[in-house]
Amino acid sequence: MPRYRLTIEYDGRPYRGFQAQGELPSVQGEIEKAVLGFTGETLRIHAAGRTDTGVHATGQVVHIDLEKAWPADVVRDALNAHLRPEPITVLEAEDVPGDWHARFSATERRYLYRILNRPAPPALDKGRVWHVRKPLDAGAMHDAAQALTGHHDFTTFRDMQCQAKSPMKTLDIATVSREGQEVHLVFAARSFLHRQVRSMVGSITEVGLGRWTKSDLAAALAAKDRTACGQVAPADGLYLTGVGYAG
């Protein structure tokens, strides 16, 4: 049975997250409807990761198994035709071996968080950025974020409903930079806990606002206590930008 890797872009605002949830709108549900419209097959797609309500993606990866072998470009174009007018696009489709898995073969997930840092609220990017009016010190945020890199118990930044077996994770990359009126936070790890990125962003932003120091952020991590977490950043500014695979 031919297996295809799909790279997906979507606006998360209309959906109750990526994962199918009965009759509730989801990114997974819309892609599966598109597969049904294209091939007549009812199937379950497999994704590299699940994104929450309102979270976006520019590089989500899924795989599907089809009964018939199609050219990869045909798969991409046919699915996009059936996805209209949903804000979901298949950017790429490619043939992969039958033992390749979008989730289990992944070695890295990478996220971008966008903060619009200006007095005026967004118009064109409403729902796609977190608007923070007060000036942020991106340099202090970047310096503090380094306290989170490495292998740690991330209980402080773990949602109470997280179903992961362990709070131990290795954060490989945490960077903060100013891009004009925006502050961009980038995180990379093999895997993340539920709402870990949004929780880290909120606490790092406390440093940028001058309410926390780097030591405060490190102490919050060391506390291994959810109540030590700062504010949780909204879903609006979060993007799954890429998934890495070996080879």
pLDDT tens-digit readout, 210-224: 999 999 999 999 999
CA distance 240 to 17: 12
Q: Strand, helix or coil at 184?
A: strand
CA distance 13 to 239: 12
Q: What pLDDT, on a 0 to 100 scale, did the predictor assign at position 1? A: 87
Residues 6+ apart with CB under 8 A from 69: 2
- Entry field: residues in the chain: 247
- What topology does CATH give the domain 107-245? Alpha-Beta Plaits (3.30.70)
Q: What pLDDT, on a 0 to 100 scale, did the predictor assign at position 211? A: 97
**Positions in the chain short of pLDDT 70:** none
52, 65, 77, 159: the catalytic one is: 52
The structure tokens listed for 57 are: 């993606």
State in Å, rounded, how far the first CA of the chain is from the last one. 23
Q: What pLDDT, on a 0 to 100 scale, did the predictor assign at position 87? A: 98
Closest to 103 measured CA to CA, from 67, 70, 60, 72: 60
Q: What pLDDT, on a 0 to 100 scale, did the predictor assign at position 160? A: 87
CA distance 14 to 55: 10
Q: What pLDDT, on a 0 to 100 scale, did the predictor assign at position 21? A: 87
Q: What are the structural domain ranges in the chain?
A: 3-96, 107-245
Same fold, 3-96 and 107-245: yes
Q: What pLDDT, on a 0 to 100 scale, did the predictor assign at position 48? A: 97
CA distance 224 to 10: 34
The model carries a pTM of: 0.96
**CA-to-CA separations, 114 to 7, 43, 96, 180, 185, in angstroms, rounded:** 21, 34, 32, 12, 7
Q: What pLDDT, on a 0 to 100 scale, did the predictor assign at position 161? A: 86
Catalytic status, residue 52: yes
Q: What pLDDT, on a 0 to 100 scale, did the predictor assign at position 23? A: 87
- What topology does CATH give the domain 3-96? Alpha-Beta Plaits (3.30.70)
CA distance 200 to 232: 8
Q: What pLDDT, on a 0 to 100 scale, did the predictor assign at position 60? A: 98
